[in-house]
Amino acid sequence: MNYELAALKVFCEHLKKAHEISSPSQKTMSIGGILFQRAWLQGVLVSVSNNGDHLLLDDGTGLIQLSPLADSRVQPWKIGMYVMVVGGYVVCPDDYPMIKKPYQHLPNGQ
């Protein structure tokens, strides 16, 4: 992951326009010429699997899957939680796009 590329603050709607830029060393995405590897979204959890390893976030423009790492599952995820997510963006052609990596719960809708 190239941390010189900022995490791009986006809505799910924007991610529909993202496309992969070929690179021999790293996967990089582009939206309107802006390069990124990590996306930053905020929204409400609308689905949580029983073991908390598969979440679905609604940001008001669309849905995106969240795949938390085992060490980020310390707290129980609950439907209705308002969360901020910053993580690697993965295109899933047969399903919702996905963000992999850590999350942060934003209590009181901050």
pLDDT digits (tens, 9 = 90+) for 48-99: 988 877 889 999 999 999 887 665 555 678 899 998 888 888 777 677 777 7
Structural element, H or E, at residue 98: strand 98-100
Q: CB-based burial of residue 98 (10 Å sphere; 0-12 exposed, 13-18 middle, 19+ buried)?
A: middle
pLDDT value for 82: 92
Could you tell me the pTM of the whole model? 0.78
Q: Which CATH number fits domain 8-103: 1.10.3720.10, 2.40.50.140, 3.40.50.720, 3.40.50.150?
A: 2.40.50.140
Structure tokens at 27: 């996967």
At 100, the amino acid letter reads K
The Cα–Cα gap between 80 and 100 comes to: 20
Q: Are strands 103-105 and 82-90 parallel, antiparallel or unpaired?
A: antiparallel
